[in-house]
Chain A
Amino acid sequence: MSDAPQAKAAPGEMSVRVSAVTVSYPNGNVALRDASFALAGGSICALVGVNGSGKSTLFKAIMGLLKPVAGTVTIAGRPVKVALKQNLVAYVPQAEEVDWSFPVSVWDVVLMGRYGYMNFMRTPRAEDRRIAEESLRRVGMLEFRERQIGELSGGQRKRVFLARALAQRGRVILLDEPFTGVDVNTETAIIALLRELRNDGHIILVSTHNLGSVPEFCDHVVLVNRTVLAAGPIGEVFTEANLLRTFGGVLRHFRFDESTVQSHDGRAVTLLTDDERPLVFGKGGHVEYSKRAEHAEILKKRAEGEEDV
Chain B
Amino acid sequence: MIETLLTPLHYDYMLKAIFVSAVIGGVCAFLSCFITLKGWSLMGDALSHSVVPGVAVAYYAGWPFAAGAFVTGLLAAVGMGFVKAKTRLREDAVIGVVFTAFFAFGLLLISLYPSQVDLRSIVFGNILGISNPDIVQVLIISGGTLVVLGFKWRDLLLFCFDPNQARALGLNTTALHFTLLTLLSATAVAALQTVGACLVVAMLVTPGATAYLLTDRFGKMIGIATSMGVGTSIVGAYASYFFDGSTGGCIVTLQSALFVAALVFAPKHGLIAQRTRRRAAGLAEELPG
| A residues whose Cβ falls under 8 Å from a Cβ of B | 26-27, 63-65, 81, 84-87, 89-91, 93, 97-99, 102-105, 108, 112, 115-116, 120-122, 148, 150-151, 164, 168, 170
- Considering the chains assembled together, what is the distance between the CA atoms of A151 and B216 in angstroms? 10
Q: When the two chains form the complex, which single residue of A103, A121, A168 contacts B169, counting CB atoms closer than 8 Å?
A: A168
Q: Are A84 and B170 in contact (CB under 8 A)?
A: yes
- B154 pairs with A103, CB closer than 8 A: no
Best-surrounded residue of B37, B154, B160, B168 (most CB of chain A within 10 A):
B168
| Cα separation A225 to B129 with both chains bound (whole Å) | 66
Q: State the Cβ distance, A212 to closest chain B Cβ, in Å.
A: 27
A85 to nearest B CB, angstroms?
Answer: 4
CB distance from B191 to the nearest CB of A (A): 24
Are A102 and B161 interface neighbours, CB within 8 A?
yes
Query: Which residue from A90, A99, A122 sits with its C-beta under 8 Å from B168?
Result: A90
Interchain residue pairs with CB less than 8 A apart (7): A27-B88, A63-B164, A84-B167, A84-B170, A103-B212, A108-B218, A112-B169
User: A122 touching B212 by the CB < 8 A rule?
Assistant: no
Check B167–A115 contact: CB distance below 8 A: no
Residues in B with CB closer than 8 Å to A148 are 216-217
Q: How large is the interface on B (under 10, 10 to 19, 20 to 34, 35 or more residues)?
A: 20 to 34
User: Once bound together, how far apart are the Cα atoms of A63 and B171, in whole Å?
Assistant: 13
Which 7 interchain pairs have the tightest Cβ spacing?
Answer: A148-B216, A122-B154, A84-B170, A85-B170, A91-B168, A116-B169, A103-B218
A115 touches B215 (CB 8 A): no
B158 CB-CB contact with A under 8 Å: yes
Interface residues of B in 134-169 (CB under 8 A from A): 151-152, 154-155, 157-158, 160-162, 164-165, 167-169
Contact of A121 among B85, B154, B165, B215 (CB under 8 A): B154
Residues of the B chain whose Cβ atoms lie less than 8 Å from the Cβ of A122: 154-155
Q: A98-B162, A103-B216, A122-B155 are in contact. Are A84 and B221 (CB under 8 A)?
A: no
Please tell me if B120 contacts chain A, counting CB pairs below 8 Å.
Answer: no
Bound complex: CA A116 to CA B172 (Å): 12
Whether a CB of chain A sits under 8 angstroms from the CB of B90 is no
CB distance from A242 to the nearest CB of B (A): 30
Q: B10 in the interface, Cβ–Cβ < 8 Å?
A: no
Evaluate contact between B165 and A91: CB separation under 8 angstroms.
yes
Q: Is the CB of B37 within 8 A of A102?
A: yes
**B164 and A65: CB pair below 8 A?**
yes
Contacts of A65 in B (CB 8 A): 164, 167
Determine whether the beta carbon of B167 is less than 8 Å from that of A104. Answer: no
Partner of B85 from the list A26, A99, A120 (CB cut-off 8 Å) is A26
Closest Cβ–Cβ distance, residue A135 to chain B (whole Å): 15
- How distant is the Cα of A99 from the Cα of B165 in the complex, in angstroms? 13
Whether A97 lies near B161 (C-beta < 8 A) is no
Given A63-B168, A120-B151, A121-B151, A103 and B162 touching (CB < 8 A)?
A: no
Chain B 199-216 interface residues, beta-carbon cutoff 8 Å to A: 212, 215-216
Given the known interface contacts A103-B212, A105-B217, A148-B217, the answer about A84 and B161 at a Cβ–Cβ threshold of 8 Å is no
Query: Which chain A positions have C-beta within 8 A of B37?
Result: 99, 102-103
With A115-B155, A122-B154 given, can you name 11 additional A-B contacts, CB distance below 8 Å?
A26-B86, A84-B167, A84-B168, A84-B169, A90-B168, A91-B165, A103-B37, A112-B165, A112-B169, A115-B154, A115-B171
**Which positions 216-237 of chain B face chain A at CB distance < 8 Å?**
216-218, 220-221
Is B164 within 8 A of A87, CB to CB?
Answer: no
Contact B162 A112, beta carbon cutoff 8 Å:
yes
Nearest chain B CB to A97 CB, angstrom units: 7
A149's closest neighbor in chain B, by CB? B216
Report the minimum CB–CB distance from B271 to chain A (whole Å): 16
- Shortest distance from the beta carbon of A156 to any chain B beta carbon, whole Å: 16
Question: Nearest Cβ in chain A — how far from B165, in angstroms?
Answer: 6
Residue contact A91 to B164, C-beta cutoff 8 Å: yes
Residue of A nearest to B217 (CB): A103
Q: Give the CA-CA distance A101 to B151 in the complex, in Å.
A: 25
CA distance A81 to B37 in the complex (A): 28
B216: chain A residues at CB < 8 Å are 103, 105, 148, 150-151
| CB-nearest residue of chain A to B160 | A102
A24–B152 alpha-carbon span in the complex (Å) = 33
Once the chains are docked, how many angstroms separate the CA of A115 from the CA of B88? 36
A116 and B155: CB pair below 8 A? no
Give chain B residues whose Cβ lies under 8 Å from the Cβ of A93. 162, 164-165
Q: Which residues of A contact B168 (CB under 8 A)?
A: 63-64, 84, 89-91, 170
B residues 72-128 with Cβ under 8 Å of A? 85-86, 88
Alpha-carbon separation in the docked complex, A84 to B161 (Å): 19
Task: Give A170 to B221 CA distance when docked, in angstroms.
Answer: 31
A305 to B66, CA, bound (A): 67
Write out the residue numbers on chain B whose beta carbons fall within 8 Å of the beta carbon of A90. Answer: 168
A103–B218 alpha-carbon span in the complex (Å): 5
CA gap between A196 and B52 in the complex, in Å: 59
* Nearest residue, chain B, Cβ from A83: B170
CA of A102 to CA of B212 in the docked complex: distance in angstroms?
9
Bound Cα distance from A122 to B152, whole angstroms: 8
Residue of A nearest to B269 (CB): A101
A253 to B152, CA, bound (A): 53
Instruction: Write out the residue numbers on chain B whose beta carbons fall within 8 Å of the beta carbon of A64.
Output: 167-168
Instruction: Tell me the complex Cα distance, A170–B168, Å.
Output: 10
**Contact at A112–B158, with CB atoms within 8 Å?**
yes
Q: How distant is B51 from chain A, measured CB to nearest CB, in Å?
A: 29
CA of A91 to CA of B169, assembled, Å: 9
- Of all chain A residues, the one with the shortest Cβ separation from B218 is A103
Nearest CB of chain A from residue B269's CB, rounded to whole Å = 9
